Every structure is written in structure tokens, then in C-alpha cells.
Structure 1
Amino acid sequence: MTDVMIGVLGIGGLFALMILRTPVAFAMLLTGFFGVWWMDGLRRASAILFTETYSSVSNYNLIVVPMFVLLGNIASEAGFSRALYDAAHAWVGRFRGGLASASVIGCAAFSAVSGSSVATAVTIGRVALPEMKRFGYASGLATGAVAAGGTLGFLIPPSTGFVIYAILTEESIGRLFMAGILPGLLMSVLFIVAIWVVTWRDPSRGPRGEAVPFAQRFALFLKAAPLLAVILVSIGGIYLGMFTPVEASGIGAGLVILLALATGKLNRFAFTKAVGDTVKTSAMLYMIVVGANVLNPFLAITDIPAALGHMLTAFGLGPYGTLVVILLSYVVLGMFLDGLAMLVVTIPIYYPVILGLGFDPIWFGVVAVIVIEMGMITPPVGLNVFVVRGVAGDVPLATVFAGVVPFLIAMIVTLLAIIAVPGIALWIPDSMFG
């Protein structure tokens, strides 16, 4: 049996384990360990397991994960996320579809502190969905806006998706963070355009809210301003070169804790819960990195990435034709796997192919994250859809999936724009890092 065939069997076993609901981290770890054992013996497999586990958990750059997760959890427990939504609601709620637009704006703002798609959808959904229901919004538009808006947490920095991509490819976390800013803003604008189109065709789906006096709007903006200031300090500090992403994560988490304590919005119970949730999320992400780093040597030994590159080249599709094939494979995988699983399983295989085709790896990181985001709102998995449906309670799952269709179109438009104009993703990091 050839090495490539062993690799194919290993990947098949990996998917079989995930279909059997084995956590993705352990599925990768088991596949990598036993695959290397089969090919190079137990001693080599044991050495890889121990060395990769240590090097993964001791990776200095991974500190950004627990720090930014803690930042988002503290902001949520202290009620700062509600302040973001209330401010957005006050400014745009009086327009047709305004509450749905406020949900998208709230998701975009909270994404800049949470870095998590699911956390963003849950946090804003708990605040926004009852309000939209009270004002008579169509269930599909309301839940669709929150589910799609939540995906911004995977794109707008500090994105856990970019952190994992950077660890797997040894690219710069700072460059990836900066590359996600303009695409994230573009997608947010297109989501609001999608809401406008839906409510223009049927105004009853998103009635106008009550007009809020300017003084009250300004007061609500000031209430949200401290958290916005934390976002500007964290992300702006990276842009200005004042500190690294790791330092930015620590400064952001420290500032939001001080802010919560100073305003009296953080008691011992809320702080304990935020820390506990941070530990759980961080442990899961660290295990995924460990699993990926144990799987990667197995894939390298079997020459799967090289074989895939040769196969795609043999098709004669050219760079962009090959890129289309890769992106379509993400669409198919998105029907069965969640976002992080897709990222950690595919990047070690596709990354060498992308480099061989001459594409910018930072640009591809943004493209891959957007396609993975699409998988978060498409059936049958659609993790964000299930999460939002759980928050909404009485809305049928089919209604939520139907509601995300206009936003899915907006995501496709964003993806095509970035493929056609790579500068949308690369202009900021190139201007910063040269």
C-alpha cells in the first residue's frame, strides 16, 4: 500500500470518527498518532505526541485566545453588549428594518471583543430577538440577521479563526487581524443592504421603530463608548504598532475588567462565570491546536498535500479554477463540519497548494474564513442557525434557514469582491507591515 493511500485511509478514518461524534480535537489526535505509529513505529508516534503537545500549549502566540475570550465574556456578563445594541438601536431603529440593522451593527461591534461566532450570536440574540419580536418583525428576518451577524465574530478581529490559521501556517497573527477589518466592514454593510432589500420588498417584515430624541441617542452612545474605547485601544494599538496582538489581548482584557469593576457591573458570581467559560472555551481551542499539530506530521509523511497539488494541477484548471474547486470543497464540508473543524482539517492540506499556485497566504486566510462562515449558516449543520433557534425558542428551524438566505447572498458578494480585488483584504496589512 502506498503512502498516499495510507493517508487517504487516515483522512477517511478522521471523518468517520467525527461522524461518530468524536470531538474534532481527539479525532485528529487519534488519527495522527495511530497513522504515524502505522508508518514509522510507536517510538516516533509517541515522540510526536509529547513534543507537539508541549510545543502547542507553550506557544506564546496562543495567549491571545484566552485573553480575548475573557474580554468578550466579561463584556457580556457586565452588560456592555446590551449597551452596544441599545446604542445601535437608538440610532438606526427608526428606519425600516432598523432593529435588524442594529443587530448586525451590534454583532460587528461585539465581534471586535469576542472573536467567536457562536458567542456573538448568543450574546446579541438574547438582547435583540425579544425586541424584534415585540415590534412585530418577521421571525425569519429577525433570526436570520442575528445568525448571519454572528458569523462576523469569525472574521472581524480578534478572530479565533485567524489565530488558529496563523498557528497552523506560521503566518503573522497581526497581519491576519488587520486583513479581516475591511472585509468585515464590507460584509456588515452588505448585510444591512440585504435587510433594506427584504424590507423594501415587504415593509411588514421589518416595521420602523420609534424615533429616539438626539439627546437620548447621544446618551446611549456615551454609555457604549467605554467598550468601544477598549476596542479602539486593542485593535488600534496593533494597527499603530504600539503593541503586538498578544499584548493587545492582555491590555484589552485588563481594561474591560477594570471598566466593569469601576462601573460596579461585575460581581463575584459574574466574574467566576466569565472565567469558567473562558477556561472551557480556551481548553477546547488548545486541544484543537494539539490535535492538528499531531495530525500534520502524519499528513506530511503520507505526502497528501503534494499529491493533492499534483492532482489539481493535472486538471489544468489554472490558479483560479483550482481555487474554485477548493472553495466548493469547503461548501460541501460545511454541510457536515463546524467552522473550526473545517479549518484545522483542511488548512494543512490546502495551504501548500495555495502557495504553489502563487496566492497570498494572508489573502487566502480571509477567503477561507469567509467560506467557513457561510458553512455556519447553511444546512444541515449551520451551527449559528441552531444556536439562534435555541435562543429564539419558538421559531421553526426551517424559518431560520430561510431567513439567512439574503445574508448568504451578501456573503457570496463579499467573497467575489475580495477574490476580484485582493486589496480589500491586503491593503491594511500591506500598508502596516510593508
Structure 2
Amino acid sequence: MSADAVAVTGFIVLFVLMLLRVPVGMAMGLVGVSGFGYLVGSGPALKLIGQTSMRTVTDYTFGVIPMFLLMGAFVSASGVSRELFQAANAFVGHRKGGLGVATIAACAGFAAISGSSVATAATFSTVAYPEMRRYGYPQSFATGVIAAGGTLGAMLPPSTVLAVYGIITQQDIGKLFVAGILPGLLAISMHMMTIGVIGAVRPGFLPAGPKSDWPERLASLRDVWAPLLLFAFVIGGLYGGVFTPTEAGGMGAGGAFIIGVLRRRLSRADIRASLLQATRTAAAVFTVLIGALLFGYFLTVTQVPQKVTEFMTGLGVGPYGVLALIMLMYLVLGCLMDAMAMIILTVPIIFPVVTALGFDPIWFGVIIVMTVELGLIHPPVGMNVFVIKSVIKDVKFSTIFAGVLPFIVTDLIRLVILILLPIIATYLPSRM
């Protein structure tokens, strides 16, 4: 069997295994080792398993993932989410749609510290949703805002998705984190503007909450300054070259632990649960990474990336035409696949095409994450939608999807803006 036939067979087997609910890391590793063994030999394939596994779990650069996961776990256990929402609500909750704006602001703050979209959506389903419903916000709007706000965790540093992209493509993870700041701020602004437009188009649809006086507003900031200062310290140190990404993760995890203990928000049970949560999540991510690296060796020996590059650059549609096709592919895959699986499966194949066309790899990483954000909320999968449904039992999927529709339109507009103005993503990394 030729290398091309083996490659096609490998992809078919991979998708069959994924349809059978085999974990994506296991599926990619199995196909990668089997295909590599068939073409090169069983001996080298077996050696590859041990070498790749050991190199991945002992690589200093990869330590950024468990450190930031641990930081997020400590922050989540400290109850910061409710304090962020209360602080944001104190300043803007009295305006029409203000609770929605407060939810976006609090989601952004929490996502920036925890780095998890799913955790953000799940947390604010219990924190913000009851408040919005209590003041008469429609169910579709309340759930839609939470789903959209949860996507900010994919872009704002420390982003696990950006870290994995950097590992796969061998890009500077620190620059990728910094590259996500301005696009993340753009996302926050456009989501808030979307809420304002909804309120203007449909008068009476979004009620106003009670107004807080200035002493109450200042008091609400008392509980949130420390976590936000920690985020600024970690990202500022990263941007200033004081920390490597792994060191920044360690400082963040240590800082989150100290803040939680000093504020008496972390009990022994919370610490134990946070350590277990971070360990389990890191183990899952590393399993997928090992599988992806093994699958990458299979792609190398079958020369799939080179052949895909030759095909796509020879289409005659120009660089931006090829980019449009890639974005369309990601939007379709986002309907069917988990975000992390989509990144790990496609980037090794697509990345050589992007570099051959002359696009900036840091900018492309941000573009990929933006499509991942869309995949978190658009049907039929919409991971954040499923998370919200699992927390809020009395809401229908159709209701949540109706609520996120305006934010999907906003995200598509934002994607076009970033494609037309790549400097939004490349300016800060270029200053490092």
C-alpha cells in the first residue's frame, strides 16, 4: 500500500474512532503509531511511543499548561467569580441591559484569571443567571450572554488553547498570550455594544437594576483588586520579559494560592480539590498532546502537510482566498468537534500552508482561537451551550441558541476586522 493510501486510510480510521467516542488523544496516538509502524517498522514505532511520552511530560516549556491550570483552579475555588460580578454590577447594573454588561465584564475578569471558557460558562450560570432572571431579563438573553461571555476564556491570557497552538507550531507562547490581549479587549467591547444595540432595538426588553451609590461601588472593589493585580503582575512580567511563560504560570499559581489562603477562602478541602482538578485536566491535555505528536510523525512520513500545501497554494485563488477556505473549514468543523480536538487535529496540516502563504504565525494563532470561540457557541455542538444546559435544567437548547445568535454575528464581524487589521494581534508581540 502506498503512503498516500495509508494516509487516507489513517484519516478514515481516525474519524471512525472519534465517532465511536474513543478519546481524541488515544485515537490519534493509535492511528499515528500504527501508520508509522506500517511504513517505517514496528521497532521504531514502539521506540517512538516511549520517547515522545517521556519528552512531552518532562519538557520545561510544556510546564506552562499545568501551572496555569492550577492557577485557575485556585482562583475558582476562592469564589472570585461572584465578587467580580457584584463589582461590575455595582457600576453598570442600573442601566438598561446593565446586568448583561456586568456579566460580560465579570466573565472577562474571571476568564483572564482562570483561562477556561467552560469553567467561566459553568460558574456564571450559577452566579449571574439567577440575578438576571430576578430582575426580569428574558431567559434567552440571560443564557446567551453567559455563553458568549464564556468564550472570552479562549482568547484572554492565560489561554490553554493558545498554549497548545504554540506547542504544536513551536511558536513563542509568551508572545501568543500577549497577542490575545487586544483582540480580547475588542471582543469584550463588541459584546457590550451588542447588548446596547439589543436594548436600543427592543425597548423594554432589557430592564435596569438598582443603582448603587459610590460607597457601595468602592466597597465592591475591595474583594477583587488582589486577583486582578495578580493577573496584571503575571501578564505584565511576561510582556516585560521578566518571566518565561512557565515561570509566569508558576508565579500565578503561587500567587493565587497565597491570596486564597490570606483571604481565608481556601480550606484544606478546597486546596486538595484544586490540586486534583488541575492534575486531572493537565493529564487529559498531555494525553491529547502525546497523541497529537505521535500522529504528527505519521503525517511527516506520509508527507500530508507538504501535499496539502502544494494543493492549496496551487488553487489560484490567492492567499486570502485560501485563508477564507481555511476559515470556512474551521467554522464547519466547529459545528461537529470539540475545540481542542479541532486545533490538535488540523493545525499540523494547515500551519505549513499558512506559513507558505506568508501569513504571520502569531496572528494566525489568534485567528484560529477566534474560530474556536465561535465553535463554543454556534449550533449544533456549542460546548458552552451544553455546559449551561447542564447547570440550568429548565432551559431549552433552542432558547440558548436563540440568545447567542446576536453574539455569533458580532464574532463574525470581529473575525473579519482582525483579518483586515492584523496589527490588532501583532502590535503588542512586536514590542516584546
What TM-score, normalized by structure 1, do the two folds share?
Answer: 0.98
Residue 190 of structure 1 is matched in structure 2 by 190
Provide the rounded CA distance (Å) in 2 between the counterparts of 1:21 and 1:42.
Answer: 26
Provide the rounded CA distance (Å) in 1 between the counterparts of 2:203 and 2:250.
Answer: 45
Provide the rounded CA distance (Å) in 2 between the counterparts of 1:365 and 1:147.
Answer: 22
Residue deviations 1:229-248 (CA, integer Å, cap 9, x gap): 11111111111222111111
Shift of 1:255: 1.1
1:385 and 2:385 are equivalent in the alignment: yes
2:313–2:353: 8 Å Cα contact kept in structure 1?
no
Residue 224 of structure 2 is matched in structure 1 by 224
1:37–1:44: 8 Å Cα contact kept in structure 2?
yes
Matched pairs, number: 432
Q: Aligned AA for 2:199? A: T
Residue 133 of structure 1 is matched in structure 2 by 133
1:245 and 2:245 are equivalent in the alignment: yes
Residue 294 of structure 2 is matched in structure 1 by 294
1:355–1:361: 8 Å Cα contact kept in structure 2?
yes
Provide the rounded CA distance (Å) in 1 between the counterparts of 2:234 and 2:58.
Answer: 23
1:65–1:282: 8 Å Cα contact kept in structure 2?
yes
Shift of 1:338: 0.6
Provide the rounded CA distance (Å) in 1 between the counterparts of 2:145 and 2:205.
Answer: 12
List aligned pairs for 1:266-415, cutoff 5 A: 266-415=266-415
Provide the rounded CA distance (Å) in 1 between the counterparts of 2:297 and 2:422.
Answer: 32
Residue deviations 1:152-211 (CA, integer Å, cap 9, x gap): 111100000011001101100011001000000001110111111112222333211110
Shift of 1:314: 2.5
- Provide the secondary structure at the position in 2 that maps to 1:204: coil
Q: CA RMSD in A?
A: 1.1
Residue 162 of structure 1 is matched in structure 2 by 162
Shift of 1:111: 1.3
- Provide the secondary structure at the position in 1 that maps to 2:210: coil
Shift of 1:222: 2.0
Provide the rounded CA distance (Å) in 2 between the counterparts of 1:313 and 1:76.
Answer: 45
Residue 2 of structure 2 is matched in structure 1 by 2
Provide the rounded CA distance (Å) in 2 between the counterparts of 1:116 and 1:80.
Answer: 14
Q: Aligned AA for 1:115? A: G
Flag the 1:5–1:204 CA change in 2: closer, same or farther, 3 A: farther
Shift of 1:313: 2.1
Provide the rounded CA distance (Å) in 1 between the counterparts of 2:156 and 2:42.
Answer: 42
Q: Aligned AA for 1:192? A: M
- Provide the secondary structure at the position in 2 that maps to 1:130: helix
Shift of 1:221: 1.2
Q: Aligned AA for 1:128? A: A
Residue deviations 1:336-378 (CA, integer Å, cap 9, x gap): 1110000000000001110100000000000011011111111
1:58 and 2:27 are equivalent in the alignment: no
Shift of 1:294: 0.5
Q: Aligned AA for 1:11? A: F
Q: Aligned AA for 1:339? A: A
What TM-score, normalized by structure 2, do the two folds share?
Answer: 0.98
Provide the rounded CA distance (Å) in 2 between the counterparts of 1:66 and 1:330.
Answer: 27
Q: Aligned AA for 2:431? A: S
Shift of 1:124: 2.3
Q: Aligned AA for 2:84? A: L
Provide the rounded CA distance (Å) in 2 between the counterparts of 1:227 and 1:33.
Answer: 44
1:90–1:217: 8 Å Cα contact kept in structure 2?
yes
Q: Aligned AA for 2:318? A: G
Q: Which runs of 5+ in 2 are unaligned?
A: none
Provide the rounded CA distance (Å) in 2 between the counterparts of 1:405 and 1:74.
Answer: 33
Runs of 4+ deviating beyond 3 Å: none
1:176–1:366: 8 Å Cα contact kept in structure 2?
yes
1:18–1:27: 8 Å Cα contact kept in structure 2?
yes
Q: Aligned AA for 2:245? A: P
Shift of 1:26: 0.6
1:141–1:205: 8 Å Cα contact kept in structure 2?
no
Q: Aligned AA for 2:294? A: V
Q: Aligned AA for 2:29? A: L
Residue deviations 1:382-405 (CA, integer Å, cap 9, x gap): 111100122222110001011111
2:76–2:114: 8 Å Cα contact kept in structure 1?
no
Q: Which runs of 5+ in 1 are unaligned?
A: none
Residue 172 of structure 2 is matched in structure 1 by 172
Residue 87 of structure 2 is matched in structure 1 by 87
Residue deviations 1:118-160 (CA, integer Å, cap 9, x gap): 0111122221111111111111111111111111111100000
Residue deviations 1:239-277 (CA, integer Å, cap 9, x gap): 122211111111111111111111111111111111111
Shift of 1:116: 1.4
Q: Aligned AA for 1:3? A: A
Provide the rounded CA distance (Å) in 2 between the counterparts of 1:237 and 1:294.
Answer: 34
Residue 235 of structure 2 is matched in structure 1 by 235
Shift of 1:409: 1.1
2:66–2:278: 8 Å Cα contact kept in structure 1?
yes
Provide the rounded CA distance (Å) in 2 between the counterparts of 1:61 and 1:152.
Answer: 24
2:72–2:113: 8 Å Cα contact kept in structure 1?
yes
- Provide the secondary structure at the position in 1 that maps to 2:204: helix
Provide the rounded CA distance (Å) in 2 between the counterparts of 1:301 and 1:392.
Answer: 48
2:155–2:366: 8 Å Cα contact kept in structure 1?
yes
Q: Aligned AA for 1:209? A: G
1:8–1:304: 8 Å Cα contact kept in structure 2?
no
- Provide the secondary structure at the position in 2 that maps to 1:249: helix
Residue 76 of structure 2 is matched in structure 1 by 76
Residue deviations 1:92-113 (CA, integer Å, cap 9, x gap): 1111111111111111111111
2:80–2:110: 8 Å Cα contact kept in structure 1?
no
Shift of 1:69: 1.3
Q: Aligned AA for 2:49? A: L
2:115–2:157: 8 Å Cα contact kept in structure 1?
yes
Q: Aligned AA for 2:221? A: F
